[in-house]
Amino acid sequence: MKLHSVLTINDEAREVLAPGAASLLDVLRDSLALTGTKRGCNHGVCGACTVLLDGRVARSCLTLAADVGARAVTTIEGVAGVDAYSRVQRALIDAGAIQCGFCTPGFVLAITDLLTRNPHPGSEAIREALSGQLCRCSGYIKIVQAVEHLAGGTHE
Amino acid sequence: MQYIAPHSLDEAYRALEASDARCLAGGQSLMAMMNLGLVAPSRLVSLRNITSLRGIEVSADGGLRIGAMTTHAELAALEVAAAGPALLAAAARVVAYPAVRQWGTIGGSIAHADPSADYPVALVAVEAIVEIGSAAGVRQVPAREFFCGFFETVLREREIVTAIHVPPGPKHGGAVYQKLSLVAGDFAIVAVAAIAGPRVSLAVGGYGPIPLLVSGIATTDDALLSAGHALANATVPPGDHRASSAYRRRVLPELMRRAGRAAADQRPG
């Protein structure tokens, strides 16, 4: 049974027709072709599918699309716009914190959520905030350094 | 699959009358099970619009009534003095990782009843009461009886966990939740929830299908260790991809000593 709903994605109202059991991840990738959000483990462990729901970090694979309701969805495509980078993305690039890049969209959103709530997190808070994001190139050091740079630097 | 999001408990009970209907709380366990093909409900009854399931009430004695749809993040942010609620807040802080804590709920977690999860062991240690609603009314079940097997609870069809009652615990008590896991955010290899008054009560999780409770232990290292050895000798914990059965038995006494000691040390004087 297909379910019709209207979701707010990156500040745009999007009409979605998807199976009732579809996850938000299914809808983003398969219905809306927003493939920046990655499908890794598909059961909540890896963090590659991370998006923001009402500004707060969420696993899109563990979110039933039909249950999103009025909550605003932000995906990696929505953090800066086409051909632009957010300061989080820029910091990751500058720190060389990207290897294969598969985990990067999830990290960008997790870091964005962290810095919104806590503009100057310490080292422990950074690691804690990123504990649900797996990088299998194991490039964590550079990623943490990028966030430390943002946390200690001047903020726009 | 059908999706329904009622605004009241009465509507939710009616919606659950369909065969193979299930409640959807925060979805952090159920969606994983659906994605893995382990369950395929014909109808999901979302509880997120039912406002009576939200909120934490603090009673005059320092105990809590926690609405079932309260998230782990909300519980983790609690700053409470009483030992019982403090233990629960400590457990909530180490449930999985931020995204799961943001959307996962205590009601959903205990209804799922993963034997390595954090709330079952904490709720057994604090002697919490689980409030269960249905069209027939409300019943209250002690946490110790609520969890009755591997991923099994006493919940019957068309029943919903509506709240959790947490007593204040001993006066000037101490409370510690310690979790041994492979990496931050993983389920526990072994978890110990300790609550200390003049004596120590310990609940152990990740160590069998349901949490084990040991009460009335003296606050000395020797007493805690020997209670740990007695429990390790009397039980055969499961072995899995996280740790062998022998490993769990080996670490149990020292984990019980540390948690019990730390809880006792929090007491004034």
Question: Which residues in chain A are closer than 8 Å to B103, comparing Cβ atoms?
Answer: 53, 56, 58-59, 62-63
Distance between terminal CA atoms of chain B?
59
Tell me how crowded residue A58 is: count the other CB atoms within 10 A of its CB.
29
**Residue type at B96?**
A
Rounded to an integer, the average pLDDT of B159-181 is 97
Q: Domain of B150: which CATH number?
A: 3.30.465.10
CATH number of the domain to which A91 belongs: 1.10.150.120
Left (φ > 0), alpha (ψ -120 to 50) or beta: where does B210 sit?
beta
Rounded Cα–Cα distance for residues B62 and B166 (Å) = 9
Number of residues assigned to chain B: 269
Across chain B, what does the average pLDDT equal?
96
Distance CA B45, CA B159 (A): 12
Residue B147 contacts by C-beta under 8 Å, 6 or more apart in sequence? Answer: B110, B113, B120, B124, B153, B210, B211
What is the reported pTM?
Answer: 0.95
Q: Give the number of domains in chain A.
A: 2
pLDDT in tens, chain A (156 residues): 577 789 999 999 999 999 999 999 999 999 999 999 999 999 999 999 999 999 999 999 999 999 999 999 999 999 997 789 999 999 999 999 999 999 999 999 999 999 999 999 999 999 999 999 999 998 899 999 999 999 996 444
What b/e readout covers B186-205, taking b as 16+ CB neighbours within 10 angstroms? ebbbbbbbbbbbeebbbbbb
Residues B85 and B14 in one domain: yes
Q: Do A21 and B1 touch (CB under 8 A)?
A: yes
Best mutation target, B7, B22, B35, B182, to test chain A (most A CBs within 10 A): B35
Residue of A nearest to B45 (CA): A67
Q: Predicted ipTM? A: 0.93
The distance of B59 to chain A (nearest Cα, Å) reads 30
Positive or negative, the Cα torsion across B205, B209, B215, B217?
negative
Q: Do B65 and B142 share a domain, yes or no?
A: yes
Report CB contact under 8 Å: A64, B103. no
Q: Which domain holds residue B202?
A: 174-265
Point out the domain boundary residue: A33, A56, A78: A78
The reply to whether B129 and B217 lie within a common domain is no
Give the span between the Cα atoms of A13 and B218, in whole angstroms. Answer: 61
Q: How far is B186 from chain A (nearest CA, A)?
A: 9
Domain boundary among A78, A100, A134: A78
pLDDT tens, position by position, B187-212 = 999 999 999 999 999 999 999 999 99
From A99, A94, A92, A91, select the one nearest A137 (Cα to Cα). A99
A92 and A66 fall within a common domain: no
pLDDT digits (tens, 9 = 90+) for B21-52: 999 999 999 999 999 999 999 999 999 999 99
Domain stops at, among B122, B150, B166: B166
Q: Which of B139, B166, B193 is the last residue of a domain?
A: B166
Sign of CA dihedral B99, B104, B106, B109: negative
* The domain boundary residue, chosen from B166, B182, B201: B166
Where in the sequence is the domain holding A32, given as residue range(s)?
A: 2-78
